[in-house]
Structure 1
Amino acid sequence: MVSLPGPPTLNLLWFLFLGLSALAPTSRAQTQLHVPAGLSRLQAVEGSEVVLPTWYTLKGEVSSAQPWEKPIVLWFLEQEGKDLNQVLAYANGAITSKPRISLVYTMPSRNVSLRLQGLQEKDSGFYRCSVNVFDKQGVNKGFNSKTIELNVLVPPAPPSCRLLGIPHVGTNVTLSCQSPRSKPAAQYLWERPAPSPEVFFPPVSDDIHGSLRLKNLSTSMSGMYICKAYNEVGSAQCNVTLEVSTGSGAAVVAGAVVGTLVGLGLLAGLVLLYHRQGKAPEEQANDIKEDATAPRTLPWPKGSDTISKNGTLSSVTSARALRPPQGPSRPGASTPTPNLYSPLPSPKLTDTAGAHPQPTPPTPSGVSSAALSRMGAVPVMVPAQGQAGSLV
């Protein structure tokens, strides 16, 4: 037993009176303690007050308390897992009690009902009342006790509402609702107010955990959703606004991927362009300009196909190959076409001492030296020979 705070002499008296009640002779009249039928279990709401109704009588005596009666009244609170806690004591006209706890009637009185104010959840438990009555001579009139169970209920605290998921058309979201404190545990109800009133039931709504799952969202599902947390002693609510957008989560992701790829492509193009500009000067040096003028071929000097005065001999390669055959032309005979692949005639050697250089034969059909050069003719220098046939 835990003693109440108070004067030490008063605590001493409790043990003294309890000892005397055990040693003192008991008369025929015995103490009887009463609790109204059906009130041995009480429920009350947190923050309110409650009265635990109890009174005593002496066996054979139904009248009110007599001036000679000297009762000892003790109230205890018994909770699971805790020691017995004394909450009020009355003896010899003195009362000691815990805060918020008092007797309903002024003592001495046979009505020993207990009042508890400003109830808290921790006030729940079993309250035991013990009464021991003595007369003036110290004769014990009897001892008795009764127990009343008190359960303090707590209405749900205001819950918090949350939206889990991204509300796009065609997706799924979950609305969550949870009360932080409630006794007994709160249950939950989801509903939509006007102009589109709707109440949701399981399995869409979980009335134990407070969740509401909405599937395949559409724009018509946008609006306010209200969650009510309730138990047998009260309720509280919260709300969340759902705005369903027409954008698709997959489209957003695809757009981001496409944008990234386009950006990488542009970056690669810029890098290639930079490298090509760096190599452009080198490549231009090797390019052949189609519109450039062909270089002019140097003209051949006259007499290049004869023996020079200094002892050298020139031969005409392509010019003589293209020269038509010499001979009298017959009437009706066609002029033969020059054959580029006919063998070249052997050059005639002349004496360099007194001979005069032969005139340069004319080119066939009046072909100029520049034309022969474009046709692929190449001048070749042949070493000069003497009369004996030796090289000079």
Structure 2
Amino acid sequence: MDSARLLALQVLMALLHYCPTASVSVTTSHEKVVAHENSNAVLSCEFKTEKDPNPRIEWKKNGKDITFVYFDGSFREPYAGRAAIIGATVTLHSVTQKDSGVYRCEVTAKQDHVPLGEISVTLNVLVPPHTPSCEVPETVSSGSAVELQCEDKQSVPAATYSWYKDNKLLGAQAVDSHYSLDPQKGTLKFKAVTKADAGHYRCESSNDVGPPKSCAGHKMEVKEFELSLPILIAVGAGGFLLLLLCCLGVCLCYRRGCCCCCRRRHTHKESKQSRNQPNYSPPMQDPRFYKHTKSFML
């Protein structure tokens, strides 16, 4: 009896092992796809169903809002006219940086026990350097702090920057150098420019995708600080106006009695000096205000 049960259990296990599961499976050969700008990008999607011979295939792009790429048997904007599908694999033509993102392939087989299967594919479009924008001041004063800026917003991965003066590459600054370079931000900073810093400056952006690009560049002049005639006139006029206001303030204060304490001190000083003189006689006291200081008897 025990052997019969054991045999039945083995047969049941074998049937379960060879019985196919009624579900759709979706796979991809490349989960991460890297493509250069204006080239083709292949988004792989392979599926297998157990019962449904004509499953429904959909492609979507993830983001703040879900965008349909392929739906109901046709491509949607902005992919219509520049994409193709074979099976469930999609090929995007002439991709740009806007095409970068996460795409999702969905296969729906209604006749299968598990009707839905999906897989995600990440597309990263590489962009070579573009001509950067350069900001170089035309005229600066000697001894002032100056910053030159360079920026390329389009390259992927982000570009690194280098600066040239009169077509000569500016090397990494020394510890005691009066300028500093930032290859990631694209800035060239002078602590205090001198006449020797005058020249033609241009910036170059580069990454590993394509050849570097350079801006046209601009000429920077360094002038010594000089007091021009208009500045001297303005300074003189300001000083005269300040002096005039001070005089008016003193006169106004004198008229309103702000200086009475000064006059009282001056009068007290004159009185003290007169008492110290030999012929000084104290003022007579009014008898009405006389008071006895001592008591006496006749």
The interval holding the TM-score normalised by the smaller chain is: 0.5 to 0.7
Shift of 1:228: 1.9
Which structure ranks higher in relative contact order (CA pairs < 8 Å, sequence separation ≥ 6)? 2
Q: Say if 2:197 is the partner of 1:213.
A: no
Contact 1:132 1:140 in 2 (8 A): no
The aligned runs of 1:185-200 (5 Å cut-off) are 185-192=158-165, 194=167, 196-200=168-172
SS at match of 1:69: coil
Instruction: Quote the Cα distance in structure 2 between the aligned partners of 1:201 and 1:54.
Output: 52
Aligned to 2:200: 224
The aligned runs of 1:92-103 (5 Å cut-off) are 95-99=73-77, 100=79, 102-103=83-84
Question: Which among 178, 181, 185 is matched to residue 151 of structure 2?
Answer: 178
Instruction: Quote the Cα distance in structure 1 between the aligned partners of 2:140 and 2:70.
Output: 59
Question: Which among 28, 31, 52 is matched to residue 35 of structure 1?
Answer: 28
Instruction: Quote the Cα distance in structure 2 between the aligned partners of 1:241 and 1:258.
Output: 32
The aligned runs of 1:133-172 (5 Å cut-off) are 133=109, 143-164=116-137, 166-172=139-145
Contact 2:33 2:42 in 1 (8 A): no
Alignment-mate amino acid for residue 171 of structure 2: V
Shift of 1:157: 4.0
Contact 1:230 1:236 in 2 (8 A): yes
Structure 1 unaligned regions, length at least 5: 1-25, 60-65, 263-392
Aligned to 1:71: 55
Aligned to 1:48: 39
Aligned residues: 211
> Where is the helix percentage greater, Structure 1 or Structure 2?
2
Partner deviation per Cα, 1:207-230 (whole Å, 9 max, x = no partner): 343221234444443333221234
Alpha-carbon distance change, 141 to 167 in structure 1, aligned in 2, over 3 angstroms:
closer
Instruction: Quote the Cα distance in structure 2 between the aligned partners of 1:32 and 1:257.
Output: 83
Structure 2 unaligned regions, length at least 5: 1-18, 237-298
TM-score with structure 2 length normalisation?
Answer: 0.55
Alpha-carbon distance change, 241 to 70 in structure 1, aligned in 2, over 3 angstroms:
closer
Give the superposed CA RMSD. Answer: 3.9
Alpha-carbon distance change, 260 to 73 in structure 1, aligned in 2, over 3 angstroms:
closer
Give % identity.
23
Contact 1:77 1:85 in 2 (8 A): yes
Partner deviation per Cα, 1:310-336 (whole Å, 9 max, x = no partner): xxxxxxxxxxxxxxxxxxxxxxxxxxx
SS at match of 1:204: strand
Shift of 1:33: 1.9
Q: Say if 2:217 is the partner of 1:240.
A: yes
Q: Say if 2:67 is the partner of 1:85.
A: yes
SS at match of 1:119: coil
Instruction: Quote the Cα distance in structure 2 between the aligned partners of 1:27 and 1:125.
Output: 36
Instruction: Quote the Cα distance in structure 2 between the aligned partners of 1:29 and 1:260.
Output: 93
Instruction: Quote the Cα distance in structure 1 between the aligned partners of 2:101 and 2:116.
Output: 23
Instruction: Quote the Cα distance in structure 1 between the aligned partners of 2:214 and 2:191.
Output: 23
Q: Say if 2:95 is the partner of 1:119.
A: yes
Shift of 1:169: 4.6
Partner deviation per Cα, 1:207-254 (whole Å, 9 max, x = no partner): 343221234444443333221234454553214333445x412x2x25
Shift of 1:31: 3.2
Instruction: Quote the Cα distance in structure 2 between the aligned partners of 1:141 and 1:216.
Output: 72
Instruction: Quote the Cα distance in structure 1 between the aligned partners of 2:235 and 2:99.
Output: 68
Alpha-carbon distance change, 30 to 258 in structure 1, aligned in 2, over 3 angstroms:
closer
Contact 1:222 1:241 in 2 (8 A): no
Contact 2:23 2:112 in 1 (8 A): no
TM-score with structure 1 length normalisation?
Answer: 0.44
